[in-house]
Amino acid sequence: MLPGINTAKDGGIMHNQEELILLGHGSGGRLSHDLIKNIMVSAFANPLLAELHDGARFSIDGTKLAFTTDSYVVKPRFFPGGDIGKLAVCGTVNDLAMCGAKPLYLSAGFILEEGLPIAELKKIVESMRATAQVAGVTIVTGDTKVVERGAVDGIYINTAGIGAILPQADITASRVKPGQEVIVSGYLGDHAIAVMSERHGLTLPSEIISDCAPLNGLIQELLTEVPAISMLRDPTRGGLATTLNEIAADAGVGIVLEERSLPVRPEVSAVCELLGFEPLYLANEGKVVVFVEKEYSEKVLKIMHQYQVSAAARIIGTVSDKAAGQVALRTMVGGLRLLDMLSGEQLPRIC
Amino acid sequence: MRLTAEETARAADFLTQAIAKLAQRPVRLMEVCGTHTVSIFRNGIRQLLPPTVELVSGPGCPVCVTPNQYLDTAIAYSGREDTILATFGDMLKVPGSQSTLMAEKTQGADIRIVYSPLESLTMARDNPEKAVIFLAVGFETTAPTAAATILQAAQQGLDNFFVLSAHKLVPPALRTILAAPDIRVDGFLLPGHTAAISGFAPYQFVVSEYQVPAVITGFEALDILQAIYMLLAQIAAGKAELANQYRRVVKPAGNEAAWNILQQVYQPAAAIWRGFGEIADSGLALRPEYSAFDAKLRLPLAAVVTREPAGCRCGEVLCGRIRPKDCPHFGHSCTPEHPVGACMVSVEGACAAWYKYGQGRWNYA
pLDDT in tens, chain A (351 residues): 333 333 333 333 334 446 889 888 887 778 888 899 999 999 999 999 988 888 999 999 999 999 999 999 999 999 999 999 999 999 999 999 999 999 999 999 999 999 999 999 999 999 999 999 999 999 999 999 999 999 999 999 999 999 999 998 999 999 999 999 999 999 999 999 999 989 988 877 788 999 999 999 999 999 999 999 999 999 998 899 999 999 999 999 999 999 999 999 999 998 888 777 889 999 999 999 999 999 999 999 999 999 999 999 999 999 999 989 999 999 999 999 999 887 766 677 888
**B contacts of A322 (beta carbons < 8 Å):** 364-365
Q: Supply the CATH number for residue B36's domain.
A: 3.40.50.11740
Nearest to A196 by CA among A212, A211, A210: A210
- Asked if A340's CB is within 8 angstroms of B99's CB, the reply is no
Do residues B310 and B352 both lie within one domain?
Answer: no
Q: Do the domains spanning A56-165 and A173-338 agree at the CATH topology level?
A: no
Cβ-nearest to A322 among B98, B356, B364: B364
Using an 8 Å CB-CB cutoff, list residues of chain A that contact chain B: 2-6, 8, 11-13, 15, 20, 22, 30-31, 34, 254, 260, 275-276, 322-323, 326, 328-338, 340, 343-344
Helix (H) or strand (E) holding B161: strand B161-165
- Asked if A260's CB is within 8 angstroms of B5's CB, the reply is yes
B72 falls within a domain = yes
How near does any CA of chain B get to the CA of A62, in Å?
45
B253 falls within a domain = yes
Contact B354/A at CB under 8 A:
no
Q: Where are the alpha helices (DSSP H) in chain A?
A: 30-35, 42-44, 47-50, 84-98, 118-135, 190-199, 216-225, 239-251, 266-275, 297-304
- Asked if A276's CB is within 8 angstroms of B44's CB, the reply is no
B365 falls within a domain = no
Q: Domain A173-338, what architecture?
A: Alpha-Beta Complex (3.90)
Do residues B177 and B115 both lie within one domain?
Answer: yes
B104-158 per-position pLDDT tens digit: 998 999 999 998 899 999 999 999 999 999 999 999 999 999 999 999 999 999 9
Q: Would you say how long chain B is, in residues?
A: 365
B142 falls within a domain = yes
Q: Would you say how long chain A is, in residues?
A: 351
Could you give phi then psi for residue B18, rounded to 5 degrees?
A: -65, -40
B196 falls within a domain = yes
In B, minimum Cα distance to A320 occurs at B364
- Residue pair B22/B236 in contact by the 8 Å Cβ criterion: yes
Do residues B223 and B331 both lie within one domain?
Answer: no
Do residues B281 and B352 both lie within one domain?
Answer: no
Do residues B219 and B149 both lie within one domain?
Answer: yes
High-pLDDT (> 70) share of chain B, %: 99
B335-362 per-position pLDDT tens digit: 988 888 899 988 899 999 999 998 877 7
- Asked if A333's CB is within 8 angstroms of B12's CB, the reply is yes
Helix (H, G, I), strand (E, B), or coil: what is residue B179?
Answer: helix
Do residues B109 and B166 both lie within one domain?
Answer: yes
**B contacts of A340 (beta carbons < 8 Å):** 356-358
Helix (H, G, I), strand (E, B), or coil: what is residue A341?
Answer: coil
- Asked if B106's CB is within 8 angstroms of A337's CB, the reply is no
Do residues B334 and B186 both lie within one domain?
Answer: no
Upper half-sphere CA count for residue A61 (Cβ side, 13 Å)? 0
pLDDT by residue, tens only, chain B of 365 residues: 678 889 999 999 999 999 999 999 999 999 999 999 999 999 999 999 999 999 999 999 999 999 999 999 999 999 999 999 999 988 998 889 989 999 999 899 999 999 889 999 999 999 999 999 999 999 999 999 999 999 999 999 999 999 999 999 999 999 999 999 999 999 999 999 999 999 999 999 999 999 999 999 999 999 999 999 999 999 999 999 999 999 999 999 999 999 999 999 999 999 999 989 999 999 999 999 999 999 999 999 988 888 877 888 999 999 999 999 999 999 999 998 888 889 998 889 999 999 999 887 776 65
**B contacts of A4 (beta carbons < 8 Å):** 93, 100, 102-103, 337-338
Count: domains in chain B: 2
Amino acid code (one letter) for A287: K
Positive/negative CA dihedral, B60, B63, B68, B73: positive
Q: Hey, where are the domains in chain A?
A: 56-165, 173-338
Do residues B74 and B88 both lie within one domain?
Answer: yes
How far is Cα A328 from Cα A182, in angstroms, rounded to an integer? 13
Upper half-sphere CA count for residue A272 (Cβ side, 13 Å)? 20
How far is Cα A97 from Cα B150, in angstroms, rounded to an integer? 55
B84-108 per-position pLDDT tens digit: 999 998 899 888 998 999 999 989 9
**Per-residue pLDDT at A6:** 39
Helix (H) or strand (E) holding A338: strand A336-338
Q: Give the structural domain span for B83.
A: 22-324
Do residues B316 and B329 both lie within one domain?
Answer: no
- Residue pair B12/B222 in contact by the 8 Å Cβ criterion: yes
How near does any CA of chain A get to the CA of B207, in Å?
30
Do residues B197 and B308 both lie within one domain?
Answer: yes
Torsion, CA B42, CA B48, CA B51, CA B57, rounded to 10:
-30
Q: Mutation test of the interface with chain B: which of A9, A21, A338, A342, choosing the one with the most B Cβ atoms within 10 A?
A: A338
Cβ-nearest to B337 among A8, A30, A254: A30
Do residues B278 and B334 both lie within one domain?
Answer: no
Residues with Cβ within 8 Å of A287's Cβ and at least 6 positions away in sequence, in order, are: A184, A185, A186, A188, A211, A215, A234, A235
Q: Domain A56-165, what architecture?
A: 2-Layer Sandwich (3.30)
Cβ-nearest to A338 among B221, B333, B362: B362
- Asked if B356's CB is within 8 angstroms of A340's CB, the reply is yes
**Per-residue pLDDT at B125:** 96
- Asked if A337's CB is within 8 angstroms of B41's CB, the reply is yes
**B contacts of A323 (beta carbons < 8 Å):** 362-364
- Asked if B8's CB is within 8 angstroms of A6's CB, the reply is no
B9 falls within a domain = no
B349 falls within a domain = yes
**Per-residue pLDDT at A344:** 62
**Per-residue pLDDT at B364:** 66
B43 falls within a domain = yes
- Asked if A11's CB is within 8 angstroms of B347's CB, the reply is no
How far is Cα B227 from Cα B248, in angstroms, rounded to an integer? 14
How far is Cα B78 from Cα B101, in angstroms, rounded to an integer? 8
**Per-residue pLDDT at A275:** 78
- Asked if B103's CB is within 8 angstroms of A331's CB, the reply is no
**Per-residue pLDDT at B155:** 96
What letter would DSSP give residue A115? T
- Asked if B9's CB is within 8 angstroms of A260's CB, the reply is yes
